Structure 1
């Protein structure tokens, strides 16, 4: 099977490795990338790979079995719109859109194309932990879920302030970068849709008066600053306390669902080391399910007895094992079997919720989570 790649970055390269572990006959046959140096490097490493400047050229000149999009975030929607009409299976990185205009355009293009062979990169929903949580919820053991408390304390938050992710024009903000995963697995477990959202963001730590464009290695405080990357291999890291850091460093959202129940979600980007946490509590009248990706534990607390059930999972391979599952699903789509387990409908719903949360935070208003 031959794969075409649009935007050959580190993230999509990792997913491709998972694809090739499952099917060694899957080969990257063509690459589209705006960076001529990257195209040249690809040709030097593998002469059999054809390189193109545009998706149109690739689609017209080579027969492929699937396309994978790994561009920077702002290009996900326009690139996906170019591919959907081809009918080819598509692996699309998240977020699927970074603006309300793009999410509407992508929805319309998706519906017009009739192409349902799309896998969106939402690996958390297919992890063993979340699959177990959904199994327990669906069994009725804890009753109907009437409240969810979710958290994501990111221990590698410097990524969003010291590299290209600090450019909010590219990322769309950190709800779209991180919460999009969490909102998706919550929607998946609940099996229902959000109706309204109220959100708030803060920027309390990663701000300052250092000059724009300053790199850690150039800073006169690099010896003492705890965020300095000058001693590592990365000499391209930017200052976290400059005037151009971009991005909030914490955010929270309250989301009301169709039944009237609500979800509280909070994310933080200056927690470090053992303060890391990512997971949720799903509360019903009969019991509570508590899980955390970092500990690999799922606990079920029964409310009307002293029973506590504990499940433990090992391993940590690519988004807690989810990348491998999505890679296998994409292969199966290219082979003509099965359905997507992480659809573009899911991607659109999560992106819309993130964008409405951002709009709520900027305007101080409740936002309705609906397409135009």
Structure 2
């Protein structure tokens, strides 16, 4: 049997462990660390009888020797837990962002270099079917050498970052780390270039206000009229992304941000993200421009178009959607962990690349906060 331990059996820990169980009949969840042990036992029913539960990560790592681990805790703890797992040299999936603070990221880098353990990070943009197809087209030479990138991420479900626990900036590290870490990784995956400088700005124009701290939609006098009301969305049968008031005094996170990144070749990329766009305004679009052609693709349409610059030809690719909520990316990262465990293969989303993305996000944050250009280097 292949024993998998789960550290943090929340939404993501549950999703990834379920995929693993479905992929291989010889996999079993042998141990879980979580603060909600009794609640989880109730969810799992009879399946909980064969799982050992622990209150702390240290306790699990001292008593268990799993073949692999899933780390799906809240963001601020990712790096510190990863360091402990790296010391045990057990391959694992580490949720993004891999760190929310520079000192933790530097410590994680040091631990990873000492350990040499394979770590898979769920960067779904590069792992899913659309990302893989875009990579193939870029490498074909059809575009020429890519010399400019434009990317936009208008998040239709952005209220989750203001109405759920994600509203706490101490947990998220800000929305460059929550969202742009995927997009920055995708750009680097295509370019295969190191970023050298970043300049960024971020704004909080919509999700702010003077409603009482801790106010829930259910307790608000505007619960039947507010466009963000969880009560109103539930009545309409629409998705509900949280129960907290996003116009309260304690609502954290910026609601838009932009960055310009220069790479080692001298080329640059522009990126912008927004969290109050809704419905058909949603897009996660990339444009990679070479001298020969431009490749454009959008994760909301799963379509790639290639515009040739010196002929009138336009090529369109309709990419089948993968079999999970991240376009196949979650299944792919689980397969990567399984391949490491059973075949000794390297991760498809190596930790060194995830750390590079986190570093870029942290530097973008610092740039926005200090109004300075930031060099992308491994220092505070």
TM-score normalised per structure 2: 0.94
SS in 1 for 2:343: coil
Residue equivalent to 1:256: 262
The answer to whether the 8 A contact 2:200-2:368 is kept is yes
Give the deviation of 1:41 after TM superposition: 3.7
CA shift digits 1:192-220 (9 cap, x unpaired): 11000000001111111101000001000
Query: Does structure 1 residue 361 correspond to structure 2 residue 361?
Result: no
The answer to whether the 8 A contact 2:163-2:241 is kept is no
Residue equivalent to 1:113: 115
Matches within 5 A, 1:117-128: 117-128=118-129
Give the deviation of 1:31 after TM superposition: 0.5
Root-mean-square deviation (CA, aligned residues, Å) is 1.5
- Aligned counterpart in structure 1 of residue 49 of structure 2, from 47, 50, 53: 47
Question: How many angstroms apart in 2 are the aligned matches of 1:273 and 1:206?
Answer: 18
Structure 2, gaps ≥5 residues long: none
Query: Does structure 1 residue 25 correspond to structure 2 residue 26?
Result: yes
Residue equivalent to 2:134: 133
SS in 2 for 1:207: coil
CA, structure 1 residues 133+39, in 2 after alignment: closer, same or farther (shift >3 Å)?
A: closer
Per mean C-alpha deviation after superposition, the further-off stretch among 136-145 and 231-240 is 231-240
Residue equivalent to 1:12: 13
Give the deviation of 1:34 after TM superposition: 2.9
Residue equivalent to 2:162: 161
CA, structure 1 residues 235+210, in 2 after alignment: closer, same or farther (shift >3 Å)?
A: same
The answer to whether the 8 A contact 1:217-1:235 is kept is no
The answer to whether the 8 A contact 1:39-1:51 is kept is no
CA shift digits 1:123-161 (9 cap, x unpaired): 211122121222122121111101000011000011000
Residue equivalent to 1:82: 84
CA shift digits 1:293-318 (9 cap, x unpaired): 11110000000000000000233522
Give the deviation of 1:37 after TM superposition: 4.1
- Aligned counterpart in structure 1 of residue 275 of structure 2, from 269, 273, 279: 269
Give the deviation of 1:42 after TM superposition: 6.1
Residue equivalent to 2:377: 370
Give the deviation of 1:189 after TM superposition: 0.5
The answer to whether the 8 A contact 1:31-1:39 is kept is no
Question: How many angstroms apart in 2 are the aligned matches of 1:99 and 1:59?
Answer: 24
Structure 1, gaps ≥5 residues long: none
CA shift digits 1:31-56 (9 cap, x unpaired): 01134544554675511110011222
Question: How many angstroms apart in 1 are the aligned matches of 2:197 and 2:137?
Answer: 26
Residue equivalent to 1:227: 228
- Aligned counterpart in structure 2 of residue 326 of structure 1, from 323, 333, 342: 333
CA shift digits 1:213-234 (9 cap, x unpaired): 0000100011110100014286
SS in 2 for 1:47: helix
Per mean C-alpha deviation after superposition, the further-off stretch among 119-128 and 64-73 is 119-128
SS in 2 for 1:266: strand
Residue equivalent to 1:239: 245
Question: How many angstroms apart in 2 are the aligned matches of 1:40 and 1:25?
Answer: 22
Residue correspondences, number: 371
Query: Does structure 1 residue 3 correspond to structure 2 residue 10?
Result: no
CA shift digits 1:227-276 (9 cap, x unpaired): 00014286961111111110000000000000000000000000111111
The answer to whether the 8 A contact 2:157-2:241 is kept is no
Give the deviation of 1:15 after TM superposition: 1.4
Matches within 5 A, 1:278-297: 278-297=284-303
Per mean C-alpha deviation after superposition, the further-off stretch among 89-98 and 310-319 is 310-319
Question: How many angstroms apart in 2 are the aligned matches of 1:327 and 1:113?
Answer: 21
The answer to whether the 8 A contact 1:215-1:236 is kept is no
Per mean C-alpha deviation after superposition, the further-off stretch among 343-352 and 39-48 is 39-48
TM-score normalised per structure 1: 0.96
SS in 2 for 1:85: helix
Give the deviation of 1:325 after TM superposition: 1.1
CA, structure 1 residues 64+235, in 2 after alignment: closer, same or farther (shift >3 Å)?
A: closer
The answer to whether the 8 A contact 1:42-1:49 is kept is no
The answer to whether the 8 A contact 1:43-1:51 is kept is no
